[in-house]
């Protein structure tokens, strides 16, 4: 494929930030029951990661406008970097929601969902890393299928979490908080699936 512009390097750099953000999210939720200070530190880390990823997105757009030849269709490049950015935006939304709602404890279901988010993000990174060569097509499609399966698992986890929440949580304020957190966490996996669908389309068009 043509190599004008450092698009694949930029995709990889952004995907790395996505994984770092997902790891920080798991860490944030894991310490909520222990220390407010530790939670604040993880929120700050997520903000730094998201800002770094924004810089990568802006550089990608700059290269897209100045490059005469691009390794992928311009619209595909735009969609891929934008959807990658959407993942981190949602991870940041989860962290800010936890902070704004003053969540002092976390549920097992929320932690499970965050771990599914991390698994999805790790596979997004793996698929992006293989994009420079369409010889990797079968492996990329396999990873995309795994992302779809993880997104379905997150759907099931969220439905179970919501069912338990509405059955067992007597405090309406707590119910509202956790409903929002569960929905945001599940949406992170939806955005990972969006990235997988774009990557799958690129592979099928170029193989």
Q: What is the pLDDT of residues 9-54, one digit of tens each?
A: 999 999 999 999 999 999 999 888 666 667 888 999 999 999 999 9
Q: Is 207 inside a domain boundary?
A: no
- Does residue 1 register a pLDDT over 50? no
Phi-psi region of 200 (alpha: psi -120 to 50; beta: other; left: phi over 0): alpha
Q: What is the pLDDT of residues 143-157, one digit of tens each?
A: 999 999 999 999 999
Number of domains into which the chain is organized: 1
Please report the pLDDT score of residue 143 as a whole number: 98
Domain limits at 112? 7-202
Q: Is 1 inside a domain boundary?
A: no
Say what the pTM is.
0.93
**CA angle 192–194–199, rounded 5-degree value:** 95
CATH of the domain at 170: 1.20.58.220
Closest alpha carbon to 91 in 40, 20, 39, 150? 20
Q: Is 127 inside a domain boundary?
A: yes
Q: Is 109 inside a domain boundary?
A: yes
């Amino acid at each position: 494929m043509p190599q004008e512009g450092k698009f694949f390097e930029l995709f990889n750099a952004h995907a790395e930030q996505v994984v770092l953000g997902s790891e920080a999210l798991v860490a944030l939720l894991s310490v909520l029951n222990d220390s407010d200070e530790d939670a604040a530190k993880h929120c700050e880390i997520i903000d730094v990661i998201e800002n770094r990823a924004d810089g990568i997105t802006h550089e990608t757009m700059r290269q897209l406008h100045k490059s005469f030849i691009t390794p992928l269709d311009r619209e595909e490049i735009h969609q891929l970097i934008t959807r990658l950015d959407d993942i981190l935006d949602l991870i940041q939304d989860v962290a800010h929601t936890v902070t704004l709602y003053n969540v002092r404890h976390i549920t097992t279901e929320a932690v499970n969902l965050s771990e599914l988010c991390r698994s999805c993000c790790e596979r997004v990174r793996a698929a992006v890393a293989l994009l420079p060569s369409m010889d990797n097509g079968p492996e990329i499609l396999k990873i995309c299928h795994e992302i779809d399966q993880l997104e379905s698992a997150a759907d099931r986890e969220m439905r179970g979490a919501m069912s338990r929440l509405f059955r067992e949580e007597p405090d309406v304020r707590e119910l509202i908080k956790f409903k929002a957190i569960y929905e945001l966490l599940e949406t992170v996996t939806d955005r990972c699936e969006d990235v997988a669908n774009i990557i799958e389309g690129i592979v099928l068009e170029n193989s």
